[in-house]
Chains A and B, each alone.
Chain A
Amino acid sequence: MTVQGRSFKIAVFVHLFYTHSYVEFQSILSGLKNLDPLYLFNIGPSPEPHALIEQIKTDFPGALVLQSPNIGKDIGGKLALLDLYLSSGVKSDLFIFLHDKVSPQILNGEKWRNQLLKIVRTDTCAEIVNLFNQCPQLGLVGASEHLSNEYNPENRNFNSTNNLILKEYIHKFGLSLTDYTFIAGNMFWVRSRIYEDFFNKFRPLQLRAGLEKGNVTDAETGTHTHSLERIFSWIAQSQGYQIKGV
Chain B
Amino acid sequence: MFLKPVFISSAGRFTDKVLHEKDATYAIRLTPEALWSAHNSVFETYFQSPDPCSVCLDLTKTKRLTEQELQLIEQGIARVSFSPSYLKHGDAPVILLLTSQDSDQQFIDLVKKRIESTLLAQGFELALLFALTDGLQNIQQNVERCYYLNLTHGDLPTNLVRINELYEENIVMNAFFFMNCSENTECFQIIQEIVLAEQRFAARKPTVYALMQQLQALEAERDLLISENKRTQVLVQDGSNYLKQLKQDAGSTILWWENENQKIIRFYQTEYESLPLWYKRFGHLIKKMF
Contacts and interface: CB of A to CB of B under 8 A. Distances in A.
Q: Is the interface of A mostly helix, strand, loop or mixed?
A: loop
Contacts of B48: 2
Contacts of B241: 104-105, 215, 217, 219
A42 B228 CA distance: 19
Quick one: which of A206, A209, A217 has the most chain B CB within 10 A? A209
A219 B161 CA distance: 63
B245 A106 contact: yes
A4 B39 contact: yes
Contacts of A88: 39, 43-44
B218 interface: no
Nearest to B233: A214
Nearest to B125: A69
Nearest to B78: A205
Interface stretch (B26-34, B115-123, B171-179, B203-211): B115-123
A47 B223 CA distance: 8
B75 A68 contact: no
Nearest to A84: B79
Nearest to A4: B44
B89 interface: no
A71 B123 contact: yes
Interface in A181-196: none
Interface string B233-268: 011011101101110010000000000000000000
Nearest to B227: A47
B135 interface: no
A45 B245 contact: no
Contacts of B83: 66-67
B2 interface: no
Interface string A42-67: 11011101100100000000001111
B237 A214 contact: yes
Contacts of B118: 209
Q: Is the interface of B mostly helix, strand, loop or mixed?
A: helix
B84 A47 contact: no
A107 interface: yes
Given A65-B47, A83-B79, A209 B245 contact: no
Interface in A63-111: 64-71, 76, 80, 83-84, 87-89, 104-107
Contacts of B75: 83, 203, 205-206
Interface in B87-123: 91, 118, 121-123
Contacts of B238: 104-105, 215
Nearest to B224: A47
Interface string B35-69: 00011010110011000000000000000000000
A70 B234 CA distance: 10
A9 interface: no
Quick one: which of A2, A53, A205, A215 has the most chain B CB within 10 A? A205
A215 B78 contact: no
